[in-house]
Amino acid sequence: MPQSNSPLAPVQDTLDRLQSWFQDLQKTLKSNLKTMVSFLKNLIKAIGQGLTQFISVVGKQTVDAFLKAANDLLERAEPLLAEIEAILQSLARALKLIAKAASPAAIVARLKSILKKIATFINKLLTSVLAFISRLNLISPLLKLIDTFRRVLMMMFKWIGQVSGLFTVVKTLRAMLKKAATALKNHIKDTAEALRKLGELAAA
């Protein structure tokens, strides 16, 4: 591990902060996505079992739009977590490299390569997060619309109460991901700054 006066110390501090933040994001997002996926799968299955009746109440256009949005979110959930895991693995490699380094000069080139990969991964994750938010924005009004038919639907479908639960999860996820998107933009700058410092070391 580099000493506090080591030229790699600022880079390590940045990587430590990133690792802690992404670990927290992974844990929280995993929990919320698990809840959302469970709700969505239950609703898709239930709608399929009573499709004709459901369409007769809320309309085919609403049902089709909901099912499309729901399936789209299901397809994107796991890849989102996989992207975070890729970032964490690269951060762990970078920190391990620093910890084992006999001298900063010996690892600068390799460390720069890992950091460039991390920067690429973070940019990709930001794009994925923004796309996920846009899908949540699509499904949210559909859930509101379906919920307006709650009284009628409850006479036919006992599961309709899950709609309000899913709507709450969607709101929570959207707020969390919006906050994460802002943080990711800052982390992109942090990674660029760490790369700049490594570039100075390489040129020294």
Among 41-50, 63-72, 166-175, the range scoring the smallest mean pLDDT is 41-50
Asked whether residue 3 is domain-assigned, the answer is: no
Asked whether residue 44 is domain-assigned, the answer is: yes
- Decide if 111 contacts 42 (C-beta within 8 A): no
Q: Which residues contact 76 (CB under 8 A, 6 or more apart)?
A: 128, 131, 132, 135
Look at residue 149 and tell me whether its pLDDT is greater than 50: yes
Asked whether residue 126 is domain-assigned, the answer is: yes
Give CA separation, 192 vs 47, 100, 105, 118, 188, in Å.
48, 23, 19, 10, 6
Mean pLDDT of the chain: 89
Look at residue 3 and tell me whether its pLDDT is greater than 70: no
Structural domain total, the chain: 1
Asked whether residue 149 is domain-assigned, the answer is: yes
Nearest to 182 by CA among 28, 34, 25, 69: 25
Mean pLDDT of 24-28: 97
Q: 114 lies in which domain range?
A: 9-203
Asked whether residue 4 is domain-assigned, the answer is: no
**What CA–CA distance (Å, rounded) separates 144 from 150?**
10
pLDDT at 1: 45
The two structure tokens encoding residue 166: 């899913």
Asked whether residue 30 is domain-assigned, the answer is: yes
**What CA–CA distance (Å, rounded) separates 139 from 123?**
25
Asked whether residue 158 is domain-assigned, the answer is: yes
**What CA–CA distance (Å, rounded) separates 192 from 40?**
38
pLDDT at 74: 95
Q: Is the pTM of this model over 0.75?
A: yes
- Decide if 29 contacts 84 (C-beta within 8 A): yes
- Say which residue, 112 or 200, is predicted with more confidence: 112
